[in-house]
Amino acid sequence: MGLNKFILVGLLLMICGLTPLFAENTFQLNEYQPRLVVADANVASDDSLNVNDLGFSQADVQSDLSQKDLDTREDMLKIHQILGLTTEGFLLTEFVVGLATAKNVANGSTDTSLVTDLGWATLAVYSATAAFEMFAPKPKNKKHSGNTAIHEALSWIHLPLMVLVPLTGDMINDRLGSHQPLGNLPVVHGVMATALVLTYSTSLLVITF
């Protein structure tokens, strides 16, 4: 494996670390839409709902982020979502090209350059996607639920696969180049690639719709 590939993998692991990849839902109220006025938990009013009536404590409706941080977070998460869709495009293209390449290799071909380049490009875009979520300002003690929690859980699967798939692909290239038997490596590579596409696509769908 080339030095540049080691650097790319190391960069991804440094960026992602133990922090899973997940997006946040952002909501904005149009000035012409009706607004819900939420009163302090300790203040009763005929014109507003007490937060306790909605099932929230006062801490739940407070944020420790400044307005500047909130704006920065919203902008970074928008970029995160755009890059996430871009990563999906790269990933699906790589998967289709990979199927065609696997068929050619089975017929005696040793040319895997296109799918290899697509694999490392996908990893690079994925790393950028993760970075914009990781470095976005975050409220303290924030808990995730619903689709966001599912999105976060799936990231623990597709994150390691995003590293392992190109690494096993590179191992296949090394064996092809040295005319060694591939054994079960293509099967393992294919299973992981399929799992990667399914888990990443699902995590994208649950947070988008």
- Among 204, 120, 111, residue whose Cα is nearest residue 167: 120
Phi, psi of 44 (to 5 degrees): -95, 140
Residues in Cβ contact with 46 at an 8 Å cutoff, skipping those fewer than 6 apart = none
Domain positions in the chain: 65-208
Q: Is 196:162 a contact under the CB 8 Å cutoff?
A: yes
Give the pLDDT confidence score for residue 209 in this predicted structure: 63
Q: Is 50 helix (H, G, I), strand (E, B) or coil?
A: strand
Cβ-based neighbour number of residue 192 at 10 Å: 18
Give pLDDT, residue 70.
82
3-class secondary structure per residue, 119-141: HHHHHHHHHHHHHHHHCCCCCCC
User: Which pLDDT does position 144 carry in this prediction?
Assistant: 67
Nearest to 165 by CA among 126, 191, 145, 135: 191
Q: Could you give the maximum distance between any two Cα atoms of the chain, in Å?
A: 80
Q: What pLDDT digit, counting tens, does each position of 56-94 carry? A: 444 444 555 678 878 888 899 899 999 999 999 999 999
For 9-52, write each residue's pLDDT tens digit: 555 555 544 344 443 443 333 344 444 444 444 444 454 445 45
pTM for this prediction: 0.68
In this predicted structure, the answer to whether residue 145 has a pLDDT above a threshold of 80 is no
Query: Averaged over 179-185, what is the pLDDT?
Result: 92
